[in-house]
Each structure stands twice: as C-alpha cells, then as structure tokens.
Amino acid sequence: MSFIAIDLDGTLLNGQNEISEENRNAIHYAQEQGFEVVISTGRAYFDVQTICKKAGISPCIIGTNGATIHSNDGKMLSSIPISKERVESILKWLDERDFYYEVFTDKAIYTLKKRREFFYHEIQQLKSADLDRDQKKIAAEAERQFDQFGFVLVENYPDILKQKEEVFNIVACSFNQKKLAEAWNRFDMIGELGVVSSADHNIEITNKGASKGNALEKMAFLMNVSLEQSMAIGDSNNDLSMFRKVGYSVAMENAKDDIKAVCTTTTLKNDENGVAHAIYQFMENFALQN
C-alpha cells in the first residue's frame, strides 16, 4: 500500500474554495486501486471534514500542520498540542504587537472579534487598491481564511486561555513582511516550537514535534505503508516536510519556484485540476514500476 498525501489550500481546493469533480473522481479512483489518500493541511480537522463531506470523499486527515491525525472514519490517531504555558506567552506577545491571529483547537478556531474586523478591512482596502499580480494573490489568500468553518469570536486573548481545549496551531497574520519576519524569528528560536508558513501573509506555530512530514511518517508506521512508494502534492512552505519523506513529490504550478525546486515534478495549477493530473500520472508510473 502507498500514500497519496494532498495539501488543501492552493492545491486540492480551486479558486472557489471547492474540490472539483475531476479531483474528487481522481481521489475515488486512487482509493479504489488500493491507495491510502490523506489530506494534509494547516486547517483544523472539523473544517477539513466539512469540506470533504461536501465533496463526497472520505480520506484520512492530517490537520493543523501535523498536530492531529484522524483516520477516514473519524478516529483520532495522534495529537501533539502546544503547552498551555507556551500558548499564553505566544498570545501575549502577538497581542502586544497587534497581530491578527487564529487559535486552533479540536473544537473551534478562536479569534478576537475586533482584530478580525480590522484584518478584514485591511483585505478589502488591498483588493480595492491598484495591485500587481502577486499582491492580488496575497489578498485573495488572506480572504480565504474567512471561509473556514468553526470560528468562535471572543473579546480578548484571556477569553481564549479560559477554554479547556488543547491548542494545536496558532496562525499569526500581517501584510507587513518585516513584522512577520520578527514573529518568525521570535518563535523559531524557542526549542519546543515549530514555525512554518502556508502563505505570504502568515506564519503558523505548532509544537516542534508536529509537522506534515512527521505525521505522514507516523501514519506510515501505523498502517505499514511505504513512504518511498508514496506521493505528496502541495504548494507552500508547510508542505516541505512531507516532500522530504516521500519518494515522489509534486509541486503545483501555482507554487513558488523554491518549492518547485525541491520536488520530483510539477503538475498543473489548482484551478486546472492539477491534483487529478498528478494522481493519474503517479498511478501510471507506479503501475509501470510494479
């Protein structure tokens, strides 16, 4: 058995934030041929489950950048939270510097109401400005965050700390690249934390032991699957860890050049059913090799 691990935003989801019929059919075909399909994303499990249910697919799900793993029947196989003490120090630091941030648990995505309104206003201002192509992409990616399911709006970060759920991922957002770099450097130097990015406007903070690659490796052990004969498809910095674990890595055409450079090959864009194209190509090559 082999894995086909697929990132969500910018990869499996098209510009309408949906899984196309072509991609859905390719996933069904791969499953029918005995491949274990895994959605691997920075999104929360309950959000991904809603998207998959709407599309009529039932894959395993690596959520919150590898901090959670769920089987295709919804059973949690693994979870790696951030310590409560560390969550408090992260939120305090972000709050003092006026970041918009989202806090992911297994029940909800917590965020501050006023910061959310301000960030949304920033996005609308960007969209109405005379932007170049790259800036338009950043604005569109930021706006897609508001399409996630499970938001709970609170007044301040102590309201988040009062919740009893474990925290798996904290996403901090800004259109100020210097400010983002400062946050990256701040949290990357803390040994118990891992920092990645899924878009130019954010950083994502998890427990150091949580990554898409580590989660895929854990799943391979539990299910006795060969990673050397598996494929991963993605488009962003937070996909690099799983690219390093598999024998066949695929970058989306809409990925940046530094992502494409580390992959085995490049497929079509997410709006061109690039996932379906990659799956059929991989299965054809897999059949020839076996």
Just give the CATH number of 84-207.
3.30.1240.10
Residue 290 is predicted with a pLDDT of 60
Residue ranges matching CATH 3.40.50.1000 in the chain: 3-80+210-289
Which of 7, 47, 106, 235 is flagged as catalytic? 7
Check if 134 is active-site: no
Could you say which residues of the chain have pLDDT below 50?
none
Residue ranges matching CATH 3.30.1240.10 in the chain: 84-207
CATH classification of 3-80+210-289, choosing from 3.40.640.10, 1.20.140.10, 3.90.1150.10, 3.40.50.1000?
Answer: 3.40.50.1000
Q: Tell which residue, 210, 165, 181, has the closest CA to residue 99.
A: 181
Residue 27 is predicted with a pLDDT of 98
Per-residue pLDDT of 242-277, as tens digits, reads 999 999 999 999 999 999 999 999 999 999 999 999
Residues 168/206, Cβ–Cβ less than 8 Å: yes
Cβ neighbours, 10 Å, residue 21: 12
